[in-house]
Amino acid sequence: MADAQMMEGEPQLVNKARPMTLWIGVAVIGFCEVMLLGIDAPARDWAVVGVGVSPDDLPAPVGLAGQAARWIAMNMTPVCWVGYLLLLDGLLTVLARRRGWDEISSIRKRPNRFVFACLTSISVWCYFDWVNFYFMDAWRYHGLPADALSRYMGYFIAFAAISPGMFLTAQWLNQLGFARLRTTGVRIPRAVQVGVLLLGIAFAVYPLVKGDAIGNLTLWVSLMFLLDPINHWLGAPSIIGDWRAGRWGRTLSLMAGGAICGLCWELWNYLAIAKWTYHLPFVGTLERYRYFEMPWIGFQGFLPFAIECWVVLNTLDAVARRAGLRVTEPLPDDSHVM
d(C-alpha 137, C-alpha 315), whole Å: 28
With a cut of 60, say whether residue 9 has pLDDT above it.
no
In a domain, residue 330? The reply is: no
Going by C-beta distance under 8 Å and a sequence separation of 6 or more, which residues neighbour residue 268?
32, 76, 77, 80
With a cut of 80, say whether residue 164 has pLDDT above it.
yes
Number of domains in the chain: 1
Mean pLDDT, all residues of the chain? 89
123-143 average pLDDT score: 94
**The predicted structure's pLDDT at residue 8:** 39
d(C-alpha 131, C-alpha 159), whole Å: 16
Strand-strand pairing, 290-291 and 139-142? unpaired
Lowest-pLDDT choice from 9-23, 143-157, 168-182, 306-320: 9-23
In a domain, residue 337? The reply is: no
In a domain, residue 335? The reply is: no
- Domain range for residue 216? 2-322
Lowest-pLDDT choice from 50-59, 143-152, 181-190: 50-59
In a domain, residue 331? The reply is: no
Residues in the chain: 338
Angle (CA) 11-15-21 rounded to 5° is 125
pLDDT category of residue 144 using cuts at 50, 70 and 90: confident
301-305 average pLDDT score: 95
**The predicted structure's pLDDT at residue 117:** 97
127 within 8 A of 208, measured Cβ to Cβ? no
Lowest-pLDDT choice from 16-20, 140-144, 152-156, 211-215: 16-20
106-128 average pLDDT score: 96
Position 168: which residue type?
L
With a cut of 90, say whether residue 16 has pLDDT above it.
no
d(C-alpha 165, C-alpha 81), whole Å: 8
In a domain, residue 332? The reply is: no
> Helix, strand, or coil here: 223?
helix
**The predicted structure's pLDDT at residue 61:** 76
With a cut of 80, say whether residue 214 has pLDDT above it.
yes
pLDDT category of residue 65 using cuts at 50, 70 and 90: confident
149-154 average pLDDT score: 92
pTM confidence score: 0.91
**The predicted structure's pLDDT at residue 70:** 82
Position 256: which residue type?
A
* H or E segment to which residue 149 belongs: helix 148-176
Among the listed residues 80, 40, 45, 79, the one whose alpha carbon sits nearest the alpha carbon of residue 63: 40
142 bridge partner residues: 275
In a domain, residue 255? The reply is: yes
